Amino acid sequence: MKKLEGAGLRGQNAGQTSLSTVEQEGSLRYLGYSIEDLADNASFEEVAYLLLLGKLPTSSELSKFEDDLAGQRKMPDSLIGVVESIPASAHPMEVIRTIISYMGVIEPELSFDDQLAVAKRLIGVTTTAIVYWYNFSHKGLKVNQESNERSVAGHFLKLLRQEEIPELDKRTLDVSLTLYAEHEFNASTFTGRVCASTLSDLHSCLTAAVGSLRGPLHGGANEEAMKMLQEITSVKEVKAFVDEKIENKDKIMGFGHAVYSIKDPRSNIIKRFSEELSIDHKDKLLHEVAKEMEIYMWDKKKLFPNTDFFMAPAYHYIGIPTDLFTPLFAIARIVGWSAHAFEQRSNNRIIRPSAEYIGPEDREWVDIESR
């Protein structure tokens, strides 16, 4: 079927933001800071502060912010009951959606003055609750909700793996959260902003955004990329695998982008971690297969990996089950979604575009008996 002119609102400005810029040639900045500088120098918590409060923190501000986030991790008792009732067969993104939605029931946002506190609460509690659910539903384990880890990344990995976590593993997850934290008017953020523009509560905005992120064309691509890479058992198989997919007109998950045209700046950052982990773990196959696919996809289709592609081997190497890849994206993106909701609220007009009508001309009414 022919694609509609202007389909997907591609290339159109749908509003203003001061949170990030995504440039077609492959550059990404959060409030003016390049993603490369942020990934090299900042922690995820520092990036969250930047996005939620509009400036880089001083060390004392950062320390207080980290304390605040760590203080928000514990689940209310009734949430434990909800999470324990969700079966292992549920998709973890359904679990994330339910956690955020349920938190809106028991700890509602009573005033927009509470918006920052709500965002911090959701970053903290969602991180704990998703791992708690995973361990309970898959292994029958009721994990201790507390950890001695100060960072979101460390806390998540500690609860998941129940062992001391190597620095490289923590840093990999930490950087990945920075890369996932914000990305201008992507589908999920736009969904959340539309919801915010009705002056709805933050839990509703984030629940709506999670629904958009779940789809395989958006956040779900990291999981799909992992499943695809695991189908390939040697570097030699890559070309034939890609050829067959292209022949069948299948999408290769983790490649291509709606805005970037030659590279996704986040890809090389996470690729470096994937490489380092593959050496550290003495398990190079997955990374080598991914590298070969990157080269061949460019030669064949001029398509480049987006952030989700090398995220897949990197997450796999640090022991994250594939089902939890997209929920991690969601936890990081709570930051960007919330920042966008705050920005929308601060200068709001309800988002209500028009549609070009392409249906039938005006018609006469026909009674049911005469149809």
Residues that bind ligand COA (CB under 6 A): 8, 217, 221, 251-258, 303, 306, 308
Among residues 312, 296, 329, which one has the least CA distance to residue 228? 312
367 is annotated as an active-site residue: no
Q: In angstroms, rounded to a whole number, what is the distance separating the alpha carbons of residues 165 and 157?
A: 7
Closest separation between CB of residue 251 and ligand COA, Å?
A: 4
* Cα-based distances in Å from 342 to 74, 189, 210, 270, 296: 25, 12, 17, 29, 42
Radius of gyration of the chain (CA): 21
218 is annotated as an active-site residue: yes
What are the structure tokens assigned to 232, written together?
């390939």
Residue nearer to ligand COA on the CB measure, 14 or 217: 217
Q: How far is CA 250 from the centre of its chain?
A: 23
Residue nearer to ligand COA on the CB measure, 235 or 258: 258
Closest separation between CB of residue 252 and ligand COA, Å?
A: 4
Out of 257, 287, 316, 340, the active site residue is: 257
Closest separation between CB of residue 110 and ligand COA, Å?
A: 35
Residue nearer to ligand COA on the CB measure, 75 or 312: 312
What are the structure tokens assigned to 315, written together?
């997450």
Q: What are the DSSP calls for 203-234, one per residue?
A: HHHHHHHHHHHHSTTTTTHHHHHHHHHHT--S
Out of 68, 218, 281, 323, the active site residue is: 218
Residue nearer to ligand COA on the CB measure, 188 or 278: 188
68 is annotated as an active-site residue: no
Long-range Cβ pairs for the range 98-102 (8 Å, 24+): 99/125, 99/126, 99/129, 99/130, 99/133, 100/126, 100/203, 100/206, 100/207, 100/210, 101/203, 101/207, 102/78
**Amino acid at site 228:** M
Residue showing the smallest CB distance to ligand COA in the complex? 256
Residue nearer to ligand COA on the CB measure, 160 or 314: 314
Q: In angstroms, rounded to a whole number, what is the distance separating the alpha carbons of residues 123 and 121?
A: 6
- Enumerate the active-site residues: 218, 257, 308
